[in-house]
Amino acid sequence: MNLKRYRVNNIQEALQQIKKDLGPDAIIVSTRQVKESSGKFGLFGKTMLEVTAAKDKKSSQPASKKPAAKASPAPAANPYGIPTPPEKPKAAAPLVAPQTASSSEETRRMLLPLQEEIQELKDMIKSMERPPTENRAVVQLQQEVSEVRSMVQTLAAQTSQLRNEDFPENLVVLFQQMVFAGLEEKFAKRLIQEAQKSIPAEELNNFPYVKIFIARMMMKIVKTTKGIEKNGRKQRIVALIGPTGVGKTTTSAKIASEQVLKYKRKVALLTIDTFRIGAVEQLRAYAKIMNIPFEVVANKAELNRIAAKYSDFDVILIDTGGRSQRDEAQMYELREMLDDPGRIDNYLVLSATTKDNEISEITRKFGELPLDGVIFTKLDESTTYGCIFNHAIRFKKPVAFLTTGQKVPEDIEVASKERLVDLLLNISGH
């Protein structure tokens, strides 16, 4: 099995190189975004798309060269490369399905070379001498073999099924890209099904057009709050809630700083985290630097008293201690303090590094409180962002902020639909 890696700006560029080098029967094994080795650009620095492709040993046909489709004229684009406003979809024309091999034959052909490599790795593991205590390297290698086998089997099955259902190649590639980025398979398939119905037949071979079309569809799914807006209200009281370790305290300081420095608003900073002395002192230090009032709150009566004390302030930010979503006593205390819809806005703080099923469990439990928005943290520590869209589809809660590092106040941004879609589809190439 001939494996090759490509570092490119976008998936279309990768496809061209893969077809040229490995032929039309090559399959994409994996895709991921990687930072360039030179310079320190942070999250917004130049990144490349690393694509690993494989060629079947039996495949020897050279890649056919087709003239590149002309890109359709598009309106002015925003910084993420997504033209706005969205165009109205044209009426779908009848599609001519490409001829493909049978599903079972194609799957067998794609998996056979990998099965041979897996068997070689198994033989190598067996031949290694093991000390009485299990060799860590051997265990890790076994895990990697299992992961590779599972990933490629899933990819082959998905690709075979989609091609058997006569999906055009561009939609198959985008489906793979979305799934690799963490979007749940059923959501990704629903998107390409709708795209196939709506995109004119003559544009289905135009990869940029198809990608932008799906980006616009995703922008209709995800909601944002534009940060903290007054929306005609005299005062906003915002509480940051969520599990331990997602960065609520640092995020509270970042938001407070943004409100003071960018919007020139009067801000008071509160905490109900009376268990962690370090967190209290950390927020107190941030408040002193920003020259804003800071208070520690122990119960609902104190919260009401302090809110009345700062009634002429624009924003009151409340930091909370980490709560386990499985601890009913802790969740009850939180509800007693913050279940005040219309007066207190609760923003659920989630880490982009958390597993998708855990994010759903956390949201369901904290959703016993009225949730007005979501903040995703630690984007700099994650390589996939499909969880943001899985969450948006399942719970329909707007995203308020994204955080991209530990620095206060720099590493925070107001969430936008264009930015969220770019995280998943890498339209801007950054």
- Mind spelling out the 3-state secondary structure of 150-187? HHHHHHHHHHHHHHHCCCCHHHHHHHHHHHHCCCCHHH
pLDDT at 146: 65
Q: Tell me the domain boundaries of the chain.
A: 1-68, 236-414
Phi-psi region of 410 (alpha: psi -120 to 50; beta: other; left: phi over 0): alpha
Q: What is the pTM of this model?
A: 0.68
Instruction: Report pLDDT for 102.
Output: 45
> What is the C-alpha separation between 53 and 18, in angstroms, rounded?
7
pLDDT value of position 4: 80
pLDDT at residue 114 in the model:
60
Class for the domain spanning 236-414: alpha beta
Report which of 367, 229, 239 is spatially closest to residue 303, judged by C-alpha positions: 239
Based on the number of CB atoms within 10 Å of its own CB, is 61 exposed (0-12), middle (13-18) or buried (19 or more)? Answer: exposed
Average pLDDT, 10 consecutive residues per value, the chain (430 residues): 75 79 75 60 57 63 48 60 58 40 52 63 60 58 63 57 72 90 92 94 92 94 91 90 91 94 94 74 91 93 94 95 70 87 94 94 92 96 93 96 92 95 86
Nearby residues of 304 by Cβ (< 8 Å), 6 or more positions away: none
Q: What is the pLDDT of residue 24?
A: 74
**Residue ranges in 367-426 assigned as alpha helix (H):** 386-395, 417-425
